[in-house]
Amino acid sequence: MGVCRVTVRGDWVIVGQTGRDRKGLKGLWSAIVVAGLLLALCCVAWVVLQAALPRPLFEPLEYATELYSREGELLGVRLAADGYWRLQLDLSGVDPQLVHFLTLIEDRRFQTHPGVDLLALLRATGQLLWRGAIHSGGSTLTMQLVRLSDPSPRTLLYKLQQLGAALKLEQRWDKRQILRRYLELAPYGGNLEGVRAATRFYWQQEPQRLTLAQIALLLAIPQAPEARRPDRHPDNALAARDSILQQLLAQGVVSVADYQRAREQPLPLRYRAANSLPYLWSAIPTESRRQITTIEASIQRKLETISSREQQRLDRYSTLAAMVVNNRTREIVAWVGHGDYGDSDRHGYLDLTAAIRSPGSTLKPLFYALAMQQGGLHPQTIVLDQPFASGDYRPKNFTERFYGEVSLSEALRLSLNVPAVKVLHYVGSEPFIEQLKRAGVALQLSQSPPSLAIALGGVGVTLRQLLQLYSALADDGVVRPLQLLSTDGLTAVEPISEPLFTPLASAFVTESLAEAARPIGFSQQPYRLALKTGTSYGFHDAWAVGYNRDYTMAVWVGRADGGFSSPRVGLNDAAPLVWQLFQQLPQVGLPRYRLTEQQQRWLALSAAELPLGLRYFPNDRAQAEGGGMQWQQPPVSRLWRQRWQGEAVRLQFSGGELPVSWFLDQRPVALKQLQRDWLWQPLQSGAYRVQVVDRLGRSLELRVELVEP
C-alpha cells in the first residue's frame, strides 16, 4: 500500500503522491494502450480473416464475341452481355515485356508475396504519416484484381477486407491465373476492359508484339482510366506514358536510346473497334465467343475498296450491296451489305443483300437453261424477235427496237425481251417458280398464279438468292446453300435437291453470257467472264451477276427504301463493280462442265447443221415459213411501193387465228375490232413498217413505201 504525503499551507491541506505512485500509474496507462492496440489488431485480423472473396471473381467472365476471317483476321466484335468490350486472353499471346514491366511498376514482389506486400504497406503508411500523402501505393496486383472484381466504396473497412481477400485468392489461384485475369479486367476507359481490347481499339493489333511506347501507355491508362484516355485526354495520356517511361529508365530496364525513341512516338490517332461486317451477326450463334467465318480478308478488302469508291459516285440517297461466293464450297468470301453503313439518309443499318427487289432481266438465264434441258432447242435455234402479245401483255425490248430472226444464244446475249417471254412461256411460269422452290429458292410473287411478266422482273428476289442460282450455273447446275461459318474450305456443302440445271444447259448459258456486252472501260480485257445485267421497271434497281470457274459475284445498286433518285441501269451502274473485282482475282477462265464428247459436238453445231426440227423456236417456225398467214391486200409478200395522194390504205391478210394485233413502226395500233383487215390513214408519205401478230404469236410483216406523185 502506497504512502501519502500531506502538506499544510495556510487554510489548504494538499495531499500528493510519491514518485512510486506516479510510476505505477504510467505503467497502467501503457498497459491500457498496448491492450487497445492488441484489441485493434485482433479486430483487424478478424476483419481480414473473415473477408470473403468477391463472388464475381470465380464466376465465368462475360466475353465479347469475336468474328474472324478464314485467315484469322479479326473482322468484328460483339459486346459482352454486360456491355463491355472485353476479349478472352491467353498469357502466351501477351508480349512478355509488358508482363515484366507491369510487375516492376505495380508490384515488384508479385512473384514472392502471398497476396499482400507488407513492406509496401509499411512504406505507404510511413509516407502517409510523415508526408501526409502516399507516393507509392501498397496495393499488389492481387489486391487490385480483388478491387476490379468488387468495386465497392474505398473505405478503411473495405481496404482491410481487400487484404484478406487477396490472401485467400493467392491460396486458390497461381500467379499466372491472377495475371491473366488482371490483364482481362484492367480498365482502359469507357467500356474497354483488358489489354487485348485496348490494343485492338488503339492500334488494331494483338498484344503479342508491342513497342516500348505502347507498353508504357498500356501501363499508364489503368491508373486513371477516364482521365488518361488517349481519345479524349491526349495530353494527360502522353504525360502519364512518359512518366512510366521515366520510371523504367530510372530502374535501368530500358536504355536511354530506347527511352528517347519511345518518347518520340505519337499517341494512336485512329480509334476503331473492329466491326467491318456488322450485318454478319444475325448469322452467328450467340453461344460461341470465337467464330471463324468463310470471309477471305484479302477479297473482302478489295470489295470494300471498290464499293467505297463507287458509293462516292452515287447520289445522296442511293447505295449498293455486293457479295462474292466460292463456287466449289458456296462459302461467302466477301460481303458488303450496304455501301455506306450507318448513314441515316441511306438507311445505312440495313443489310441489302437480303432485301427483296425486282430482278429486272437477271432471271432470264435461269429459264433459258430450263428450256434448253427440256429438249427441242439448241443455242442456234432461231427465235423471232418481233412484236408479240399474250393477252394484254405486250413486251418491248430495252432498246425499243426489234431484231427479227435471232438465235437463242444471241437473244440471251443481247437480253432481248420478246424472245425471253417466249422462252418462259415454253417452260411455263408456274413450273419455273416451282422448280426454283424445290431447289430452295422461293421467289416473292406479286400475283398468283405467276404471269409471264416475271421474265422481265415482275417478281421479288434477293441478292443472296441470285448468288445461289448463278453459282449453280458455275457448278454443273447444282444448287447448294450459301455458307458463312468456316468448315475446311475444301468440302462442298450438300446440295439442296437434285441438280436444277444439266451441265449441258449450264454450259450453253455460260457461253452465251461470256459474249454479253461489257461496261465502258472493260471491252479490251483479255479474260472471259460470264455476266448478266438487269434493270428493274422504272430504272429503280441496277443488277449485275458475274462468274468464272472459282467465284460468283452479285451487285445491286439503288435506294434502300425502294424509291427513285436517278435512272439506274445494270450495265452502267452495277457491272463495273463486278469487272473491277474479277480483274484483281486469279484469271482462271470459265467453268468446266462434265460433258460427253457427243454433247460437246452437239453444242458446237452451227445453224446450218441443225436438224430441221431444231432450226426454229416452236410457233416461230410456222411464222418463218409462212404459217398460213399471207398478205391479201396488197398482194405482195414483204415490200410494197405505192404512189400516194393522201388516200386511206387498206391492209388485209389471211390465215392466223383471231384475235390479232396490228403494229405500225413497232407501236401497237388501237383498233375497235382486232380483225384481219385495217383501213389505215397515213399522215404523210414515207417508209413504214407494218406487223400483225395472231393469237398464237405468229406474225406477218410488210414494209410500205408511200411516194408522192
pLDDT in tens, 179-188: 999 999 999 9
Confidence of residue 312 (pLDDT cuts 50, 70, 90): very high
* pLDDT (average), residues 568-575: 96
Q: Which of 572, 551, 75, 535 is nearest to 336 (CA)?
A: 75
Same domain, 646 and 553: no
Range with lowest mean pLDDT among 176-190, 354-368, 438-452, 532-546: 438-452
Dihedral sign for Cα atoms in the order 454, 458, 460, 463 = positive
Name the active-site residue from 318, 361, 506, 536: 361
Is 361 designated active site?
Answer: yes
- Tell me the average pLDDT of the chain: 86
Among the three residues 248, 264, 280, which one is the final residue of a domain in this structure?
Answer: 264
Angle, CA 467 vertex, CA 463 and CA 470 arms, to 5°: 130
Name the active-site residue from 73, 106, 206, 304: 106
Residue at 327 is within a domain: no
Same domain, 76 and 28: no
The pTM assigned to this predicted structure is 0.75
Residue at 618 is within a domain: no
What are the pLDDT digits (tens) for 688-699? Answer: 999 888 777 777
Same domain, 450 and 512: yes
Same domain, 43 and 183: no
Residue at 297 is within a domain: no
Residue at 274 is within a domain: no
Domain count, the chain: 4
What are the pLDDT digits (tens) for 97-143? Answer: 999 999 999 999 999 998 888 776 676 566 555 665 545 556 899 99
Structural domain boundaries enclosing 36: 5-47
CA atoms within 13 A on the CB side of 177: 8
* pLDDT (average), residues 385-393: 76
Among the three residues 247, 264, 281, which one is the final residue of a domain in this structure?
Answer: 264
Residue at 117 is within a domain: yes
The CA–CA distances, whole Å, from 696 to 11, 167, 361, 658 equal 150, 94, 24, 9
Q: What is the CATH number of the domain that holds 553?
A: 3.40.710.10
How high is the pLDDT of residue 627? Answer: 55
Among the three residues 553, 586, 602, which one is the final residue of a domain in this structure?
Answer: 602
Q: Which of 334, 368, 316 is nearest to 578 (CA)?
A: 334
Range with lowest mean pLDDT among 108-117, 123-132, 166-175, 280-289: 123-132
Same domain, 90 and 41: no
Same domain, 41 and 74: no
* DSSP codes, 27-73: HHHHHHHHHHHHHHHHHHHHHHHHPPPPGGGGSPP-PPEEEE-TTS-
Same domain, 231 and 360: no
Same domain, 125 and 206: yes
Is 59 designated active site?
Answer: no
How high is the pLDDT of residue 124? Answer: 59
* DSSP codes, 403-452: -EEEEHHHHHHHT-HHHHHHHHHHH-HHHHHHHHHHTT---B-SSSS--G
How high is the pLDDT of residue 447? Answer: 76
Instruction: Determine the Cα–Cα distance for residues 594 and 600; give it in Å rounded to an integer.
Output: 10
Same domain, 242 and 357: no
What are the pLDDT digits (tens) for 28-71? Answer: 555 554 444 444 444 444 444 444 566 667 778 889 988 899 99
Q: Is the pLDDT of residue 378 over 60?
A: yes
Residue at 683 is within a domain: yes
What are the pLDDT digits (tens) for 201-231? Answer: 999 899 999 999 999 999 999 999 999 999 8
Same domain, 130 and 148: yes
Residue at 657 is within a domain: yes
Residue at 333 is within a domain: no
Same domain, 42 and 62: no
How high is the pLDDT of residue 30? Answer: 56
